[in-house]
Amino acid sequence: MLSRREILKGSALLALSTSAGAGTSWSQEPTAPVAATNYGLVRGFVDEGVLVFKGIPYGDDTAKHRFQPPAKPIPWAGTRNTVAFGPQAPQPIHTHSGRNTFSPLDPISPVNSEDCLHLNIWTSKLRSQSSEKRPVMVYIHGGAYSSSSSNGPVYDGVRLVKRGDVVVVTLNHRLNLFGYLYLAQLGGPEFADSGNVGQLDLILALEWIRDNIAEFGGDPKSVMIFGQSGGGAKCATLMAIPKAKGLFHRVATMSGQQITATTPQHATATAQAVLAELGLTRATLNDIKDPAKVPMDKLVAAIRVGKYYGPVHDGHILPHDPFSPEAPSISSGVPMMMGTTHDETRLLLGASDPSLFSLNWEDLPARLEKYRQFLGSLKTENIIALYRTWYPKYTASDVFFAVTTAFRSWHGFVIESERRAARNGPTWVYEFDWKSPVDGGKWGAPHTMDIPFAFDNIQIAASMTGSSNDSENLADQISDTFIAFARTGDPNNAAIPKWPRFDLTQRATMCWNSVSQVKNDPRSNERNLIAGAPYIQPGT
């Protein structure tokens, strides 16, 4: 949870940024840091000795460029106050998880706007203060491709900067139908890129970083992109987009993989459903570009009719599936660190259905059958029997979460890591095994749990992690590892055991826990079992 000091500071800064125009000087804080971007001067603030700039525009208002590639920001006169987060991308307003337990992930005062292309920077020194160039850690938020933002407390970069003298960047971009509505087969040439403009926003942000980050003490030739869940999937997709080549130099994904993209056929069906909801036809399709004719809130209301929004295999921006039938060749030499959590679905499924934590053995087969698409032709009763043999102390609920984690969440991760290894790309694999003590330990090591450890923000996220020397020590190890990887392209550092690269012979995996250790092919029994089922990218 945020401290009272942090809440008051944020409120004061928000009030200040609201009252002061973009070209207005901030006389109340004469020592506030000022940096020069290619588009104008920006003034930030100091937090615990770290220079912070929030809400810097990296692109123009997307309301003027709906379903089209983003445009660069319009230059401004004077000095722009950048002391508060920019708006989040348009989306239904709701919390990340629907539970207070995981509230540190939720955006602060979420405000929807199509003017959402903003980024935030934490750094120790500007170029005018030091000639040293620091590695840049660019975080891409999760929420699939449809929701959330980078404005949550847990993504604060102060501790990473103080710990490793890096530059931290977080950002917002177009999501859901605003970023991934494929209109290319229904409209004119101006809609050619519409199914991937959310990814093009990310590329524009990386281009902004390439051209401007040196002013903030960052090294444009040492950029790591990292993301969790949907953020990791966005990173994996960027690895296969030619326009993104050379804009990043390391990749770290956390419980986020993208094997296949949406086919144009399925994406067009979604677009047709949205147009029908909006009362638009091919003849009136161009109206969708005009906020006066189709207001933002009407588009937000239409999001619900689409089954899935995400990158489209359009043969243009995304010429082929990200990791199918193999890992992308254009990024095979980029070092990659990728991980998953041991109990992904305890949050992904359990947060919205508490009854899953009290299943009995009679209920279990029917509950697992709801996920038949992931189980393939394997018989449910045989799967349950194997898990009861492998893990005799598991309850029926434990087996449910273990099976759904393996087949629904972990399977794609295994495929992606194997295809990276087949290309001999420098790859390191981890599994987050540390179990949260919160709520009596019911959540285990769930989806999202590695985020506060990577950011060294477990105090902010104490409602997720609890507070103990155990969690503090693990946060030291993981955050040091992410910093080392950003700096060198190799995660090995003094805080952890020697971590070999992943290959198909040993399958070396760093297992994060109270005592972290490298294990070869952990959960091999489960890995061999899921290999007998087809993998379907969730949502597509």
Question: Exactly one of 146, 147, 148, 229 is catalytic; which is it?
Answer: 229
Task: Report the candidate in 127, 75, 147 with the shortest Cα–Cα distance to residue 308.
Answer: 147
Task: Report the candidate in 454, 408, 411, 449 with the shortest Cα–Cα distance to residue 432.
Answer: 449
Counting Cβ atoms within 10 Å, is residue 379 exposed (0-12), middle (13-18) or buried (19+)?
A: exposed
Residue 363 parent element (H or E):
none
Half-sphere exposure of 191 (CA within 13 A, CB side): 20
Residue 229 annotated as catalytic = yes
First CA to last CA across the chain, in angstroms? Answer: 35
Q: Is the dihedral of CA 353, 359, 362, 364 positive or negative?
A: positive
Give how far the C-alpha of residue 169 lies from the chain's centroid of Cα atoms, to the nearest Å: 13
Backbone torsions φ then ψ of 378, nearest 5 degrees? -65, 140
Task: Report the candidate in 407, 322, 395, 326 with the shortest Cα–Cα distance to residue 370.
Answer: 407
Tell me if 240 sits within 8 A of 330, measured CB to CB. Answer: yes
Tell me if 293 sits within 8 A of 317, measured CB to CB. Answer: no
C-alpha dist (Å) from residue 229 to 279, 393, 448: 34, 29, 8
Task: Please give the structure tokens belonging to residue 15.
Answer: 């009030």
Residue 144 zone, left/alpha/beta (φ > 0; ψ -120 to 50; rest): left
**All residues at 6 or more sequence positions from 415 whose CB lies less than 8 Å from its CB, including other chains:** 257, 259, 323, 535
**Strand pairing of 517-520 and 508-512?**
antiparallel
Half-sphere exposure of 492 (CA within 13 A, CB side): 9
Task: Please give the structure tokens belonging to residue 217.
Answer: 């003490």
Catalytic positions, please?
Answer: 229
